[in-house]
Amino acid sequence: MAVTREAARATAADLPSVDRLLSLAPLVALAATAGREPVLAAARAHLAALRREALAGRLAPARLTDLSLATAIADAVAAAGTRRLRAVFNLTGIVLHTNLGRAPLPEAALEALLEAGRDAVSLEFDLGSGRRGERDAPVAALLAELCGAAAATVVNNNAAALVLVLSALAARREVLVSRGELIEIGGSFRLPDLMRAAGARLVEVGTTNRTHLEDYAAALGPRTALLLKVHPSNYVIRGFTASVSTPALAALARERGVPLAVDLGSGALAALGALGLPSEPVVRDTVAAGADLVTFSGDKLLGGPQAGLVVGRADLVARLARHPLKRALRAGKLTLAALEAVLGLYRDPDSIGRRLPALRLLSRPLVEIEAAARRLVPAVTAALGPDWSVSDAPMSGEIGSGAQPEQALPSHGLEIRRADGRRGAGVGALARRLRALPRPVIGRLANDALWLDLRCLEPDDEGRFVAALAALGP
């Protein structure tokens, strides 16, 4: 009986030398552009892998042709050169997804980013006087104006804004916080830990479900530096509950001569009700209600770059600006450039729902998402092959970043199951293949299916999405 050609196996003795690999014409050409070192490293790694296969008796001679060797090594060089931080298709249904970078930026911000990255910019330079200027000044003025506040400042993120407020105003003194507001945000960000890091002493007020104005009044003493109210972003306390409103707390703070800071978390700059979204506290309203300082994130509902924004009383903001931590937590020029562009869009509140991607995605009409799902079923079915059944289905998404945790965003998308009806088999592997694409597709696994929520796939991206799926490997 003849041994089939497929069954023949190469041995370690058949392997070429590194020098011979590097002399293959395609790799000589590649080394000229990518450099000799990456090609050499990839060649060595490939040889080592082939040797292991040969020793295990699994190396097919076809893998040792010049073409196969050169292709494998060139692919490895290309893969090593791809950035690890890559654009993905966010089909999780969570719009402001912290793990996927939160808010997508508008064109105006991207242009500003590019310019600030490429060119020298007037970062700490006053173009009027020709002298050194304040880094925050251009953004701070606009931010204060939009929030109806006297002053504003910018740091790296909202956690940094809180650390700065606590360090500058309450180090070695007491901060009163309601027991119902001692939050953990995720990513090991816990308010009590943050307080300790800032050197402030936390004084818990009231109980988990009920806190009254008298609780604050009773705890207020000579060592009290600050009242802190925290918006419970990512949870809801329901049932027999009571909390103290910002105006009531502000009146008490004023009467006792102690500032009130409010951490809004998401902090909307515009009223979202007009966009059909669940309403979140608006920064301007919180300032008007008497908060002395308000902190919030730049990349949550505001729809800008990662940043921590503080607005409020001029004397307090000046104390933050003078604190040494401000220097350590300051925002970079790319952030400030993008933020100024995003804030500029808020000058025209009527168009913000269209021009700001975060708000546009959050307020996308359901009928539009349903139509996209129906449009994409045939192309995705074709790309995945006969093993998979693809149908359009209603889904439930979220704003993300802790905003309105109980308010589902009704959505629509693609439900992908095994065509043979076998439960669980291979759905995880399919999700892995989608994540391995040059532009990875990130969905959600549940109930033996892969769910691709299409809220965040805008019509302009559909073509790219279908093209990306065409690159699906086995």
Least distance (Å) between residue 181 CB and ligand PLP? 9
Find tokens 């000044």 and name the residue.
137
Tell me: does residue 291 bind ligand PLP (CB under 6 A). no
Rounded Cα gap, residues 295 and 158, in angstroms: 7
How are the residues of the chain apportioned to helix, strand and coil, as percentages rounded to the nearest 5? Answer: 45, 20, 35
Tell me: does residue 233 bind ligand PLP (CB under 6 A). yes
Least distance (Å) between residue 197 CB and ligand PLP? 14
Task: Give 78's Cβ-side CA count (13 Å radius).
Answer: 9
- Give the pair of three-digit tokens for residue 264: 């809004």
Tell me: does residue 158 bind ligand PLP (CB under 6 A). yes
Closest listed residue to residue 311, CA positions, set 299, 301, 298, 300: 298
Rounded Cα gap, residues 58 and 253, in angstroms: 76
Tell me: does residue 94 bind ligand PLP (CB under 6 A). no
Rounded Cα gap, residues 443 and 431, in angstroms: 7
Q: Of 14-22, 124-132, 263-271, 318-326, which segment contacts ligand PLP by CB under 6 A?
A: 263-271
Least distance (Å) between residue 216 CB and ligand PLP? 19
Choosing from 178, 297, 335, 411, the residue that interacts with ligand PLP (CB under 6 A) is: 297
- Shorter beta-carbon distance to ligand PLP: residue 70 or 338: 338
Tell me: does residue 185 bind ligand PLP (CB under 6 A). yes
Tell me: does residue 93 bind ligand PLP (CB under 6 A). no
Least distance (Å) between residue 364 CB and ligand PLP? 23
Least distance (Å) between residue 300 CB and ligand PLP? 6
Tell me: does residue 230 bind ligand PLP (CB under 6 A). yes
Give the alpha-carbon dihedral of 149, 154, 158, 159, to 10 degrees: -130
State the sign of the Cα–Cα–Cα–Cα dihedral 422, 424, 425, 427. positive
Q: Of 60-68, 163-171, 258-266, 442-450, which segment contacts ligand PLP by CB under 6 A?
A: 258-266
Binders of ligand PLP: how many residues, by CB under 6 A? 15
Scan residues 365-404 and list those touching ligand PLP (CB under 6 A): 401-402
Choosing from 180, 265, 303, 312, the residue that interacts with ligand PLP (CB under 6 A) is: 265
Least distance (Å) between residue 236 CB and ligand PLP? 13
Tell me: does residue 305 bind ligand PLP (CB under 6 A). no
Q: Of 154-162, 200-208, 279-287, 365-373, which segment contacts ligand PLP by CB under 6 A?
A: 154-162
Amino acid at 453: D
Cβ–Cβ < 8 Å for 213, 158: no
How would you write 104-152 as a 3-class SS string? CCCHHHHHHHHHHHHCCCCCCECCCCCCECCCCHHHHHHHHHHHCCCEE
DSSP secondary structure code for residue 330 in this structure: B
Tell me: does residue 157 bind ligand PLP (CB under 6 A). yes
Tell me: does residue 159 bind ligand PLP (CB under 6 A). yes
Least distance (Å) between residue 362 CB and ligand PLP? 16
Tell me: does residue 335 bind ligand PLP (CB under 6 A). no
Least distance (Å) between residue 123 CB and ligand PLP? 22
Q: Where are the alpha helices (DSSP H) in 154-220?
A: 158-170, 191-197, 213-219
Beta strands at 308-312 and 224-230: parallel, antiparallel or unpaired: unpaired
Residues that bind ligand PLP (CB under 6 A): 157-159, 183, 185, 230-231, 233, 263, 265-266, 297, 308, 401-402
